[in-house]
Structure 1
């Protein structure tokens, strides 16, 4: 055993990289293993939305706010592009507008959400009137957005070049045990081992993870070009997201929104469709998504689901779109809470997300986990 590190991390997605950063900035020697030549999981298949506004009051909101600061630092030191203009959540119906008004009047003030509700003339002036067909827009000013396909590689380069994190790509870790792991690149020793393997619940620590009874969520995603040059600088959502995100979903005013969806568009509820749109640095849009839960991710996409999402996107944007690319997003979901830090054996842990907000809360979650293992930075 000639290879020794303070921390061995399995997985180079956002959770693995966040743990690597939190440890390396403390001066610890960190080694990261990734089975593919470049990360291909949830961290590069997503919208790149680091949302604060949608998080429910409590731990998730705190983690999102702390993660926002970490992303801001990474943008400076790693050179990744980060839009810090916030997001717009559009109210399309009277019920959705009432829900946003109720959120701003009470919860937003009580818990310090940095938001502004645009109505009337302010709504008509937004993007030169492009979105005037909506009733209102909630501007989540703390929300951030990045292009994951470029941001994740940029973060890897920073960790490797500036913080001297060692990476082993195209390397499968076969087994972990206290103090060491065995991989296709050899055996490695480490004081601590953290498994950040996303929705892979069967390769490592399978028995410990199974006790959490997690499942997998599969999403249908699109990359598209709008027919109009929107020069979009904000992430976009609609009132459909209000029944999905914890900041809004438990408010009394959310019930009429949910009832209207079930009455007028039950297919959206059935397939878990709520529109998210993220601009890329190249004038394109990432559009989705649907939610399909199970123990495995079916490889078969439904064209009808894509058609519904395209229709929603064109209604929201007020213009046609041309689809350039289609893919599946896949992430771990439905565990005992929104996330877990599982101590499987002495010096062996697993960091798991059970919801699709790893980009929003992962950086701060990792900081807390590393603090629990090694103390404050």
Structure 2
């Protein structure tokens, strides 16, 4: 049995890595266990958008702002290619434009969101006028974007090389108990054990996790190449996202946007479709997404859902795109709040996200969790 550890972490997704960073930079001896040879879950299947603008006022906005700074540190320390020039959320209809106006005039000022609403010449100047068919664009100045499938391995390399975090990949953790972890790589001791198991609710700590009644969200995702020279440098969203993200969804003006979607495009509501587009470093675009919830993610994609998403993307971009890759995104969803941090036994913790914003808030959430664990030690 391997001794002399301060913290053992199960899971090398963004939550596991964030907690490893927060602990190791404080001088703790950390080991991370991951069942696959490289992370394959939500943290590499996503858009790579670390959004501040979409987070509702309160704890989620505070965490997103603090996480923004941590991503900036990681970009410098680990060499992550982080785009820090923000996002654009496009209003396609009068109702969406009115919602963005109300947000800028009220909530954005009250809570200090760094945004600007573009219309007229400012909107027409974006990407050579290609996006001028929209009514307005909300520029979220604090939003960031990266290519997750490359950034996560780079973060792992940094943690291993510079902070001495030890990784055990292709290793299944079979059981944990206070002070001990049992895996296919052997048994290990540590003062603290932290489970960051993503949407796996059954392998470890099944009973306390089941009490949260969490679900799994499955998303259809695409990678495509535009048929024109676009050189996109921002994450893109549309007014459809305003009924999905908490910064906008509870404003009175959101009701008209939701009513319009239900009247004119009920299939978008039924499949949880709201357009997101992220550029890759190779001139391609990650496009999605849909949302289907349940206890297990179905392995079967609907071609019609992909078709609807591509139609939205091509209308937004003003050009055709050619699909080069399709996959399923997946994340833990619909728990008692946006995230949970449980302490089911002495020295044993579990951190879970119940929404798809782990990249946006996970780094700062981990800082708080590790600080509390050290205070209680």
Match of 2:238 in 1: 238
The CA deviation at 1:344 is: 1.2
1:117-145 Cα distance to aligned partner (Å, 9 max, x none): 00111111111101000000000000000
Q: Give the Cα–Cα distance (whole angstroms) in 2 for the partners of residues 138 and 23 of structure 1.
A: 37
1:228 Cα deviation from its structure 2 partner: 1.0
Structure 2 CA distance for aligned equivalents of residues 273 and 344 of structure 1: 36
The alignment's C-alpha RMSD in Å is 0.8
User: How far did 1:4 drift?
Assistant: 3.1
Could you tell me which runs of 5 or more consecutive residues in structure 2 were left unpaired when the two chains were aligned: none
Q: What secondary structure sits across from 1:313 in the alignment? A: helix
Alignment of 1:55-74 (within 5 A): 55-74=55-74
Task: Give the structure 2 partner of residue 358 of structure 1.
Answer: 358
Separation in 1 of the partners of 2:344 and 2:329?
A: 28
* 3-state SS in 2 of match to 1:367: helix
Mapped to 1, the partners of 2:5 and 2:322 lie a distance apart of: 48
The correspondence of residues 222-371 of structure 1 with structure 2, limited to 5 A, is 222-371=222-371
Equivalents in 1 of 2:132, 2:336: separation in Å?
42
Alignment of 1:45-84 (within 5 A): 45-84=45-84
- Residue equivalent to 2:178: 178
Output one character per residue of 1:260-280: Cα deviation in whole Å (capped at 9) or x when no partner. 000000000000000000001
CA distance in 1 between counterparts of 2:3 and 2:156 reads 21
Using the alignment, how far apart are the partners of 2:104 and 2:126 within structure 1?
19
Correspondence 1:153-172 to 2 at 5 A = 153-172=153-172
Counting matched residue pairs gives: 376
Aligned to 2:111: 111
Deviation at 1:375? 3.9
Unpaired runs of 5+ residues, structure 1, are none
Give, in angstroms, the shift of residue 3 of structure 1. 3.3
Kept after mapping to 2: 8 A contact 1:3/1:187: no
**C-alpha distance in structure 1 between counterparts of 2:189 and 2:152, whole Å:** 26
C-alpha distance in structure 2 between counterparts of 1:271 and 1:31, whole Å? 40
Divergent runs of 4+, >3 A: none
Q: How far is the alpha carbon of 1:224 from its aligned partner? A: 0.4
Task: Provide the residue aligned with 2:34 in structure 1.
Answer: 34
